[in-house]
Amino acid sequence: MKILLIRLSSLGDIVLTTPVPRLLKKKFPKSEVHFITKAEYSDIYNNNNNVNKVIHLQKNLKKTISILRSEKYDLIIDLHNNIRSNFIKFSLGVKNFTYNKQSFRRWLITNFKIDIKIRHISETYIDTLNKLGINNDNNGLDIYLHEKDMIDLDKLPHQFRSGFYVLVLGGKHKTKRLPVKKSIELCDKINKPIILVGGKNEYKDSVKIENFFNSDLDTNNTISDILNKKTLIHNLCGKLSIMESAWILKLANVVYSNDTGFMHIAAALKKRVVSIFGSTHPSLGFYPYKTNFYVYQNTRLNCRPCTKIGSSECPAGHFKCMNELKFDNIIL
SS3 196: strand
- At 191, give phi and psi (nearest 5°): 55, 40
Which residue blocks in the chain are alpha helix, DSSP H?
Answer: 11-16, 19-27, 43-46, 61-69, 83-92, 103-112, 121-127, 180-190, 203-214, 242-251, 261-268, 320-323
Tell me if the bond preceding 10 is cis, omega within 30° of 0: yes
For range 61-69, the mean pLDDT: 97
* pLDDT for position 216: 64
pLDDT digits (tens, 9 = 90+) for 104-126: 999 999 999 998 889 999 999 99
pLDDT band, residue 222 (cuts 50/70/90): low
Q: What is the pTM of this model?
A: 0.95
Least confident of 23-32, 70-79, 165-174: 165-174
DSSP-assigned beta bridge partners for residue 116: none
Average pLDDT, the chain: 95
pLDDT of residue 115: 86
Q: What percent of the chain has pLDDT over 90?
A: 92
Q: Per-residue pLDDT for 223 more than 80?
A: no
In the chain, the domains with their CATH numbers are 2-132 (3.40.50.2000), 147-323 (3.40.50.2000)
Q: What is the pLDDT of residues 241-279, one digit of tens each?
A: 999 999 999 999 999 999 999 999 999 999 999 999 999
**Chain segment 289-302, per-residue pLDDT in tens:** 999 999 999 999 99
The four Cα atoms 83, 176, 168, 191 give a dihedral, to 10 degrees, of -170
Sheet strands (E) in 227-292: 233-235, 255-258, 273-276
Return d(Cα 332, Cα 36) in angstroms, integer: 38
